[in-house]
Structure 1
Amino acid sequence: MKDWTVICRVDDIPVLGSRRVARPLGTDVAVFRNDQDQVFALLDRCPHKGGPLSQGIVFGTSVACPLHNWTIGLDDGCAKAPDEGCTQKFSCKVEAGRVLMDPVELATLATDTATAG
C-alpha cells in the first residue's frame, strides 16, 4: 500500500494547464489538468531537447512541448509518432478535490536529471 502526499487542490491547477512541483534533487515534476479534470504528472522535461513541459499546451490527454511542438502523452510520458522518446511518469490521484502523489517516487525517480533552471 502506498503512502500519498497532498500536492495541491485540483482547482490550483488551471484547466488545460499545469503546476510545477519542486524536488530537492533532479528536475521538477509538472502536474497537468485537462478539460475533463483528469490529472497527470510527468517530469518537467521533454525527451527531445529538455523543454519545460509545464509551459506547453494541454489538449486531451497530451501536452505540446513549447520548444519544438512535440506531442507527449500525459498518461505514459511518451512522444507521439513520428517522434520517439519518453519522459518519466509519476503516480498521482485525486481524492476529495485534492491532488496526491507518491512521496517515494518524488524522492527517487529521475533524480539524476539536471535541475530545471
Structure 2
Amino acid sequence: MSWIDIGDINDIPLRGARKVKTAQGCIAVFRTGEAEVFATSNTCPHKQGPLNEGIVHDRKVTCPLHNWVFDLETGEAQGADEGRIMTYAARVEDGRVLIEAAKLGRQAA
C-alpha cells in the first residue's frame, strides 16, 4: 500500500479537522484522539456542507449546515438520515498523518 504524508498530527487540533486539497478534490482529515485520525470526503451529501467545519465527537462528525451525523469509520449517516460519505484509509506514523494514495487516485474526493 502506498501512503501520502499530509503533515504533522499536531497541525490538526484534537477533536478537530483540516481540509486537505488533493489532485482529485478536497478531503477532510479528522483527529478524534491523540494518535487517531480519519479521512473522508469533505462534502455532506445533503446540502454540500463543509464537513471539516463540523463538530467532531467520538468517531463521528456533525455537518455544520443541517446537523447530519456521519460515522467516520464507515461513512454512513447516523439515525434517520440516509446518505454516505466516502472514507479513505488514514493512519499516524511517527507523528505524521498518512493517507492511502490508491483510493485518492481512483475517485474524486
TM-score by length of 2: 0.92
% identity of equivalent residues: 42
Consecutive unaligned residues of structure 2, counting only runs of 5 or more, are none
Determine helix, strand or coil for the equivalent of 1:41: strand
The residue type paired with residue 15 of structure 1 is L
- Which is strand-richer, 1 or 2? 2
For 2:39, what is the secondary structure of its paired residue? Answer: strand
Distance in 2 between the 1:40 and 1:19 partners? Answer: 11
**Residue of structure 1 in register with 2:82 after alignment:** 84
Q: Distance in 2 between matches of 1:104 and 1:21?
A: 16
CA–CA separation in structure 2 for the residues paired with 1:12 and 1:105: 23
RMSD: 1.4
Structure 1 unmatched ranges of 5 or more: none
- Asked if residue 66 in structure 1 is aligned to residue 74 in structure 2, the reply is no
Letter in 2 for 1:92: A
The answer (yes or no) to whether the contact 1:16–1:58 under 8 Å persists in 2 is yes
Q: What TM-score comes out, normalization by structure 1 length?
A: 0.86
